Amino acid sequence: MDRLKKESLAAGQGKHESAGTAPVRRVNQPDPIADGLRKLWENVEKEPVPNEFLDILDRIDAASAKERGS
């Protein structure tokens, strides 16, 4: 095996994705999956809390207060 091919293999350049290896992501490259998850979470944070959920929390608070008072 010639020197150039050995260096290429040592650097991981001789591997193919079809062989079951994941592609190497460079540190400064954006990660589309992480970016998508961030955007999704930002949208979830902006959504209002449903009234049904607030009602449940009120009932829990009332039941807890009643137990403490007994």
Q: What is the pLDDT of residue 40?
A: 96
Q: What is the pLDDT of residue 62?
A: 96
pLDDT tops 80 at residue 60: yes
pTM: 0.40
* φ, ψ dihedrals at 31, nearest 5°: -100, 110
Per-residue pLDDT of 16-52, as tens digits, reads 545 567 666 667 788 999 999 999 999 999 999 999 9
pLDDT tops 80 at residue 3: no
Per-residue pLDDT of 23-32, as tens digits, reads 666 677 889 9
Domains of the chain by residue range? 28-70
Q: Residue 68, exposed/middle/buried by CB under 10 A (0-12, 13-18, 19+)? A: exposed
Q: What is the pLDDT of residue 14?
A: 47
